[in-house]
Amino acid sequence: MRTLLNRFRFHLAVFFAVIGPGFITAVVDNDSGGIFTYSAAGARFGYLPLWTLLPITVVLIITQEMCSRMGAVTGKGLSDLIREEFGLRVTFLMMALLVLANLTNVMAEFAGIASSLELFHISRYISVPLAAAAVWVLVVKGNYQSVEKIFLFACVFYITYVISGFLVKPDWKEAVIYSVKPVLLLEPGYIYMLIGMVGTTIAPWMQFYLQAAVVEKGVTAKEYAESRIEVIVGCMMTSVIAFFIIVACAGAIYSVRPRDIQDAAEAALGLRPFGEYAFLLFSAGLFNASIFAACILPLSTAYSVCEGLGFEAGVNRRLREAPIFYWLYTLLIVIGAGVILLPGFPLVQMILLSQVLNGVLLPFVLIFMILLINKSELMGEWRNSRWFNLVSWATVVIMIGLTLALVGISVRGMH
Partner 1 sequence: MTESLLFFTEIVGMPVHDLKGRRIGRIRDVALVPLVHPSRIDRFLVGGGLTWLTIRHDQVQSISLARGIFLAEEQLTPYHDDEYMMRIGRDLLDQQIIDVNGRKVVRVTDVTLEKRANGVGDTLAVLEVDIGIRSIFRRLLQGVLPPRWIRKLQQPIPPKSIRWDKCNVVEPDPLRRLRLNISYQKLEEMHPADLADIVEDLGPAEREAIFETIDSEVAAEALSEVDPKMQVSILESLEPEKAADIVEEMAPDEAADVLSELEEETSEEILEEMDSADKTEVEELLEFDEDTAGGMMNTEYVALHENASVPDALAALKGNEDLLESLNTLFLIDADGRLTASVPLARLFLASPETRLKDLGSETLIHVPVDEKQDRVTEAFDKYNLLTLPVVDEEGRLSGVITADDIISVLRQK
Binders of partner 1: how many residues, by CB under 8 A? 20
Q: Is 75 in the site for partner 1 (CB under 8 A)?
A: yes
Residues contacting residue 46 through CB under 8 Å, at least 6 positions apart? 174, 250, 254, 255, 258
Write down the least CB distance from residue 321 to partner 1, Å. 9
Q: How far apart are CA 123 and CA 114, in angstroms?
A: 8
Among positions 8, 12, 16, 88, the unique one binding partner 1 when judged by CB under 8 A: 88
Closest CA to 194 of 414, 406, 5, 413: 406
Per-residue string for binding with partner 1, 192-231, x by CB under 8 A? --------------------------x-xxx---------
Q: Which is nearer to partner 1, 163 or 309 (CB)?
A: 309
- The per-residue b/e assignment along 5-32, b for 16 or more CB within 10 angstroms, e otherwise, is eeeeeeeeebbeebbbbbbbbbbbbbbb
Q: How far apart are CA 184 and CA 49, in angstroms?
A: 9
For helices 172-180 and 224-249, what crossing angle results, to 10°? 130
SS3 260: coil
End-to-end CA distance of the chain: 67
What amino acid is encoded at 92 in this protein?
Answer: F
Write down the least CB distance from residue 78 to partner 1, Å. 13
Write down the least CB distance from residue 336 to partner 1, Å. 24
Write down the least CB distance from residue 319 to partner 1, Å. 16
DSSP 382: G
Q: Which is nearer to partner 1, 135 or 369 (CB)?
A: 369
Cα 17 to the chain's mean position, in Å? 22
**Cβ–Cβ < 8 Å for 299, 315:** yes
Q: Which is nearer to partner 1, 76 or 383 (CB)?
A: 76
Write down the least CB distance from residue 76 to partner 1, Å. 5
Among positions 2, 4, 5, 89, the unique one binding partner 1 when judged by CB under 8 A: 89
Interacting positions 267-326 with partner 1 (CB under 8 A): 309-312
Q: How far apart are CA 290 and CA 347, in angstroms?
A: 15
Q: Which is nearer to partner 1, 50 or 369 (CB)?
A: 369
Write down the least CB distance from residue 88 to partner 1, Å. 5
Q: Which is nearer to partner 1, 31 or 216 (CB)?
A: 216
Contacting residues toward partner 1, per CB under 8 A: 10, 17, 73-76, 83-84, 87-89, 92, 218, 220-222, 309-312
